[in-house]
């Protein structure tokens, strides 16, 4: 592994060429730098069925991959011409809602729309707009999924995710694209 990492990281390459053994902190920092720059992909082995090595995988995701707050997130303002520069999105609850519905599912909980909130907040009963068709859609019920359990979000106050988490709401429209992607804004 050190040899493979030395091919993509200068600090580890220098240690490797000098026959020095890098410390765990140096290895972790090099893996993160290489993974964030898309030059190296750490691989973890385990089994979710027997809960073997699941925690090291989750720790590795936190340690080696970039968080959404470390990335610049931009979107195109559809009220502006196509040549207009992209608008930077900030994870603020008071900002207008910008979200991506990335998966539609019909399961034991009914029709679910999985979405990622980039900025803004959602409330039960709020109207949102389909980015391509311009249709108004009412959010009937907001939920969070934890493995195979569904948690209903409280009715009072806006439900928002300032850290850009994944959320879902119950119900979806069949006229959303076949790739199950649509942009929503307020």
Q: Are residues 173 and 81 in the same domain?
A: yes
pLDDT at 169: 58
pLDDT at 137: 77
From residue 19, alpha-carbon distances to 34, 66, 81, 133, 174 in Å are 21, 30, 57, 61, 60
Running along the chain, 186 residues long, what does each successive block of 10 average in pLDDT?
A: 92 94 94 92 86 87 82 78 87 76 75 77 77 74 74 60 50 46 39
Q: Are residues 58 and 84 in the same domain?
A: no
What are the residues facing 150 on neighbouring strands? 145
Listed residues 32, 66, 100: the one ending a domain: 66
Work out the burial of residue 5: count CB atoms within 10 Å of its CB; fewer than 13 is exposed, 13-18 middle, 19 or more buried: buried
Q: Are residues 46 and 131 in the same domain?
A: no
pLDDT at 173: 53
* DSSP helix/strand/coil, 165: coil
Q: Are residues 43 and 80 in the same domain?
A: no
Tell me the CATH number at 138: 2.40.30.10
Listed residues 16, 38, 66: the one ending a domain: 66
Q: Are residues 127 and 98 in the same domain?
A: yes
Nearest alpha carbon to residue 63 among 37, 29, 40: 29
Listed residues 11, 45, 66: the one ending a domain: 66
Which residue segment(s) compose the domain that 84 sits in? Answer: 75-185
Q: Are residues 177 and 89 in the same domain?
A: yes
pTM of the model: 0.60
Number of domains in the chain: 2
Q: Are residues 179 and 123 in the same domain?
A: yes
pLDDT at 30: 96
How far is residue 104's CA from residue 101's CA, in Å, rounded to a whole number? 8
Q: Are residues 90 and 176 in the same domain?
A: yes
pLDDT at 22: 94
Q: Are residues 97 and 44 in the same domain?
A: no
Q: Are residues 128 and 178 in the same domain?
A: yes
Q: Are residues 60 and 83 in the same domain?
A: no
pLDDT at 163: 41
* DSSP helix/strand/coil, 162: coil
pLDDT at 106: 77
Q: Are residues 107 and 158 in the same domain?
A: yes
């Amino acid at each position: 592994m050190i040899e493979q990492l030395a091919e993509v990281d200068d600090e580890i390459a220098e240690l490797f060429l000098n026959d020095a053994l890098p410390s765990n902190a140096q290895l972790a920092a090099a893996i993160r730098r290489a993974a964030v720059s898309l030059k190296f992909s750490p691989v973890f082995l385990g089994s979710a069925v027997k809960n073997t090595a699941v925690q090291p995988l989750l720790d590795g995701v936190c340690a080696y991959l970039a968080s959404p707050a470390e990335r610049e997130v931009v979107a195109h303002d559809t009220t502006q011409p196509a040549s207009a520069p992209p608008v930077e999105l900030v994870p603020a609850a008071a900002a207008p809602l910008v979200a991506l519905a990335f998966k539609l599912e019909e399961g034991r909980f009914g029709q679910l729309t999985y979405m990622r909130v980039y900025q803004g907040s959602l409330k039960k009963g709020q109207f949102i707009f389909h980015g391509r068709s311009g249709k108004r859609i009412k959010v009937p019920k907001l939920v969070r999924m934890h493995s195979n359990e569904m948690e209903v979000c409280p009715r009072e106050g806006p439900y928002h995710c300032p850290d850009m988490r994944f959320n879902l709401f119950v119900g979806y429209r069949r006229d959303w694209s076949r790739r199950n992607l649509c942009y929503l804004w307020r």
